[in-house]
Structure 1
Amino acid sequence: MKTNIKFGIGVMLVAMLILSMAVMPAMSAESKETTEQWKEQQTKKWMDEHTVNVISTTIYKYENGQLEVTEIYTGKDIENKLGVNNLTDVRKIPVDIKTTETISLDGKTFSLEEGTEEVIVTEKTVVLTVGTDPYPWWNYYSYPQYTWKQKLMVYYERADPINLVWDNNNIKQ
């Protein structure tokens, strides 16, 4: 009789072990899915709170062997959310006119003649923040992660996803 009781207890323990092996991964997967959903919701919430509709004025000017690209963001959203009238970013790109007469930049083609200037005005939606309110990636790290382009030493604009450089990437936006 003692053998039957030991055998019965042994069978119950094995059954419980097998049952726990089947139930635990399912519970763990559900927990991981819930966590991932929470991370995505938090990321979306932060991005939405920092999304700004702007009027983007981009000025392309060629002088002295350099293409100067000036981008100016203006609009009511930028005033309301950041408290500034505009954000201006200036890039200077050296261009050898001997090797090329035109250049394509940001999907536009420009003639490189001294003093040439092209102005393009568009409406844009960008994600902007300040250095004291960074995107808290350490709280809910998920992909894609973004680089941030500094504007005026204080403000930052969301730029490219960092996994652009990886083969077989899967960017979701």
Structure 2
Amino acid sequence: MKDRMKLLVMVAVAALICIACMQTVSAETEDAQKKWIKDHTVNVKSTVLLTYEDEYLEITEIYTGNDLKKKTGLEKIVKSKKIPLEIGEIETKNKKEKVLVTKNEVILEDNGKEVLKIKKGEKKVFEKNKEVVLTKESDPYLTTTGIPDWTWPKVSCWFGICWYEMEDPINLVWQNTYKSEVKSEFPPDWTDYPYENTQYVFIGNKWVKADGIADDRYRFFGGHHARLWEIPGDTVIGNAHHDDAVFNYPIGHQVDDYEGAEEKVSNFYLNGWNVEADNLDLSNEYFSPFYNAYNNGSATLISK
């Protein structure tokens, strides 16, 4: 009897030691990830240039600053994107909102009030200081779960070295399925060809481009948007968010909601799928810089 009690005590002690070790390893991993982000955080001056030429609205953002030079060796990073515009009035979901495009100018109206006018050749300049997380192509942020935690647009390539910027947290994971099946559950009025900046995740040993889908191609006055990736193991991951209006400062879409968009997309899978809200801890809790949009760090898990 005494020997049995001793054995039980030894097993219990071993279990407690194992739990303590696991907690220690988990804490060390989390600390290492936090340190990685801190080491890759760069303070920059952001200058946004907005121009209209040849039926394209061009948005150029330039990063400069001493911290950028010190941590990356780059004098500046230039990010540029063009939004194609057709002459005439562009349809929006809200009929009170209008985007009127002529050969000489772009006019935006909200409820009959002009909110922005850009003439051909005119340049509007906006400046702001901000923090960004940047990393080289060869130095990806590595996850401990096997599931990428963040999305990354490619922001610069210089002398064969490409740089990526941390953007959005992954907040949706589908298991035992494929991307085509996941996309088939989105409403038919969502477009498979949205205007978006290209983003990547690091899978295996390479950076993989996203497949986007949105409730409106341009989302001039805001809208829902998701990016999807297939990863090994019959798994699809994604980020769902809601964008603000293109012409809110800073010019170009900014995320103003994560959690509501995560719930909205997960509701597409209530029939024939198993939906477990906030079931998978990815440790990517986040507040967006402009709207304080919150991601709680746990992804909704959806499976067949």
Normalization by structure 2: what TM-score? 0.45
Question: How far has the Cα of 1:61 moved from its partner?
Answer: 2.2
Counterpart of 2:155?
Answer: 151
Structure 1 or 2, whichever has the larger Rg, is: 1
Q: 1:103 touches 1:112 (CA, 8 Å); kept in 2? A: no
Equivalence for 1:31: 21
Question: Does 1:131 find its partner at 2:140?
Answer: no
Contact kept, 8 Å, 1:39 with 1:142, in 2: the verdict is: no
Structure 1 contact 40–142 (Cα < 8 Å) conserved: no
Change (3 A) 1:103 1:81: farther
1:111 deviates by 2.6
Q: Give runs of aligned pairs for residues 86-97 of structure 1, distance below 5 A.
A: 86-96=76-86, 97=88
Is the aligned partner of 1:120 residue 2:126?
Answer: yes
What CA distance in whole angstroms lies between the structure 2 residues aligned with 1:24 and 1:110? 67
Mapped pair 1:74 → 2:67:
no
Question: Residue in 2 aligned with 1:47?
Answer: 37
1:161 to 166, 169, 178: 169
Q: 1:113 to 1:23 in 2, by over 3 A?
A: same
* 8 A Cα contact 2:51 2:118, kept in partner: no
Bigger relative contact order, structure 1 or 2 (CA pairs below 8 A, ≥6 apart): 1
Deviation at 1:112, TM superposition (A): 5.3
The answer for the alignment partner of 1:7 in structure 2 is: none
Aligned counterparts of 1:28 and 1:103: Cα–Cα separation in 2: 63
Relative distance call for 1:144 and 1:123 in structure 2 (3 A) is farther
| AA partner of residue 98 (structure 1) | E
Shift of 1:172: 1.6
Q: Larger strand proportion, structure 1 or 2?
A: 2
Q: Is this contact kept in 1: 2:151–2:166, CA < 8 A?
A: yes
Shift of 1:142: 8.7
Query: Match for 1:147: what amino acid?
Result: T
* Deviation of 1:49 (Å): 1.4
Tell me the CA shift for residue 64 of structure 1.
3.3
Q: Give the superposed CA RMSD.
A: 3.0
What is the DSSP-based 3-state SS (H/G/I as helix, E as strand, rest coil) of the residue aligned with 1:98?
strand
Which ranges of structure 2 fall in alignment gaps of 5 or more residues?
Answer: 91-97, 100-107, 172-238, 241-261, 264-276, 287-304
- Aligned partner (choices 111, 117, 120) of residue 116 of structure 2: 111
Which residue identity lines up with residue 59 of structure 1 in the other structure? L
Higher helix share: 1
